[in-house]
Chains A and B, each alone.
Chain A
Amino acid sequence: MSSEPAGGKPWQAIRTEAIEGILNELGIIDSGKVDEVVHHYEEKVGPKTGARVVAKAWTDPEFKQRLLANGLDACAELGIGGPETELLHVVENTPAVHNVVVCTLCSCYPWPVLGLPPAWYKSSAYRSRMVREPRKVLAEMGLALGPEVELKVWDSISEIRYLVLPERPAGTGHLSEAELATLVTRDAMIGVAKVVFP
């Protein structure tokens, strides 16, 4: 992966700086706006954002109904959202149905709710194999589904982004919403894992 010339920056850094430099000089963008976005995604948004949504849905049935009806509007109630997502479709896991999300053509992902996707989500292997042999891929990632479970694979194409609402694990009746949120992982909200309670 190293393409860094001796004593210099990698070509990717040079090219990115050059693009930003041109746009700066043209007055199209100012670096402060870029800083804002980077700061927002490094500090404010990530899997914990989505975990708040899931925990709220687990503890508030009316919120859950609103979330399943219109994901973005429900997230906005929690102050979550951004201009980068136009439609958020929330799909609910049950004992009979498991949902998993992929973007076959590129790497679409609900950025304002989950932050940036992991490397494997963007990989050629995941994007092609999750459609061809989803059960096998899930098993390789540590999630073995019984044959009785219906598996739905959602392709993030066009303007729609998906968020998986995982099953609330058994034995968590006594936990608060905030405690529940700490159990929810990024992988569970993509659908390649279940939420577990130790």
Chain B
Amino acid sequence: VSGAPIELLSRASADRTVSPEELVFETPWSARLFGLTLALIRAGHFSVHEFQQSMITEIRAYEVMGCIDSNATYYERWIEALLALLRRKGTIADGALAAMEARVRAATPPRHTHDHDHHHAPQPIAVSR
């Protein structure tokens, strides 16, 4: 599962951008996710260690069958780790997520369909009509 040559990974990431060291987040949502998590840590809602444990659990479960081979697959695990931690703490109740996702979708206008995310393209956090 995890025997892929590293060389391929680093070359693949270098190919995507002229300056891989300058591109911090590949997608707006991964930037938001990282910022949200650190803001929660800074506010004392949970510790780095608690989040780390949640990541370890999530990644271990994922790697039974899957393989983290991109920023996207990695930050998808991060979403699930953050959700799991917030659920365990009772912050996000069952059902609350689906309801809020429906609201976000309803507030999101259709947009053109490239098969990639624009790097740091400005996007409204919500749209009210």
Contact = CB atoms under 8 A, between A and B. Distances in A.
Q: Do these two chains interact?
A: yes
Given A18-B100, A86-B48, A124 B63 contact: yes
Given A10-B117, A17-B32, A41-B34, A22 B100 contact: yes
Grouping DSSP codes into helix (H, G, I), strand (E, B) and loop, the B interface class, with mixed when no group exceeds half, is helix
Contact of A29 (B24, B39, B111): B39
Contact of B92 (A19, A106, A158): A19
Grouping DSSP codes into helix (H, G, I), strand (E, B) and loop, the A interface class, with mixed when no group exceeds half, is helix
Contacts of A33: 39, 42-43
A181 to B, nearest CB: 13
A129 B68 CA distance: 13
Given A17-B104, A19-B97, A185-B21, A141 B27 contact: no
A1 interface: yes
B86 A13 contact: no
Give the interface size class of chain A. Answer: 35 or more
Give the interface size class of chain B. Answer: 35 or more
B67 A19 contact: no
Contact of B125 (A17, A42, A118): A17
Given A13-B29, A123-B9, 16 more contacts: A4-B115, A9-B123, A13-B123, A20-B36, A23-B36, A23-B86, A29-B45, A36-B35, A38-B25, A116-B34, A118-B13, A119-B9, A124-B2, A125-B9, A127-B68, A128-B2
